[in-house]
Amino acid sequence: MTQAERDAAYNNGAAVANSAELNAQRRAASAAHRAAHPGRLDIPYGEKPRQKWDFYPATDPQAPCLVFIHGGYWQMNGREDFAVLAAGVAAHGWSVAMPGYTLAPEASLRDIVDEIFAALNWLQANRATAGIFGTIILSGWSAGAHLAALAMAHPSVSAALLISGVYELGPIKETYLNAKLNLTGEEIASLSPLRLPVVQKPAVIAYGKEELPALADDSERLYAARVAAGAKSILVPVEGENHFTILHELSSPSGALTTQLLQLV
């Protein structure tokens, strides 16, 4: 395989012709959602600029809470760009919480994983500040799904929805993405969910049927590994959706992914 072929295997933006338009639409909708729900935003869990939470608490503090980790190959985007995804489960009375994290190359992948665990530690200790006391369901998209797959081991998490994730890091080292990630052999071995013991909590593993084959294959393999280990798992290949449009199934109250979340509680 040539370098160009290795790069193309993980280049979601290039694979979806209107990806820039879809991202712009999501950011605009997210800015509007944040403006309409300004009460508990930008709450720090650490000292670095991106170590902050956005909380969208439900009227009932005991309602389930979706904790969503944003994607962007660990080097792009922010929690603010995905605020609109809170709308789906919020329509069903859920709380939603979105942590930020430092991006590569300022942070290594090990640092980023540690930040997600630190954010969950903070939430566990500061539920009154967040206004959230209900069951925590963890989710993430793309790189965020990778982080969620690791962080579902956190004791505060009851179950997970993993969307369009990367679960084996080995091939990433050989692509353009590694220019900022600078993955080490230790990180690949210890931070690839497909190389780790299965977390024995319920999980839904979703991907768009129009995903790049490498990402679809990772989802299929993670599902197979979990089933083999006896972990409660559901595989959801969403017909007609690609890496970006699949998020509509989470932002919509009647979306396929919103429906899966409601069944995880």
- With a CB cutoff of 8 Å and minimum separation 6, the contacts of 214 are 9, 10, 171
* Residue 146 lies in domain: 3-264
pTM of this structure:
0.97
Quick one: pLDDT band at residue 34, thresholds 50, 70, 90? Answer: very high
Instruction: Tally the domains of the chain.
Output: 1
Q: What is the CATH number of the domain that holds 121?
A: 3.40.50.1820
Residue-wise pLDDT for 105-163, tens only, equals: 999 999 999 999 999 999 999 999 898 999 999 999 999 999 999 999 999 999 999 99
Nearest to 113 by CA among 59, 156, 66, 150: 150
- At 179 the three-state DSSP class reads helix
Residue-wise pLDDT for 163-174, tens only, equals: 999 999 999 999
Starting at the earlier edge strand, list the strands of the sheet with 233-238.
40-44, 52-56, 95-99, 65-69, 136-141, 157-163, 203-208, 233-238
Residue 1 has pLDDT above 90, yes or no: no
pLDDT the model gives residue 155: 97
Residue 22 has pLDDT above 90, yes or no: yes
Residue 39 has pLDDT above 90, yes or no: no
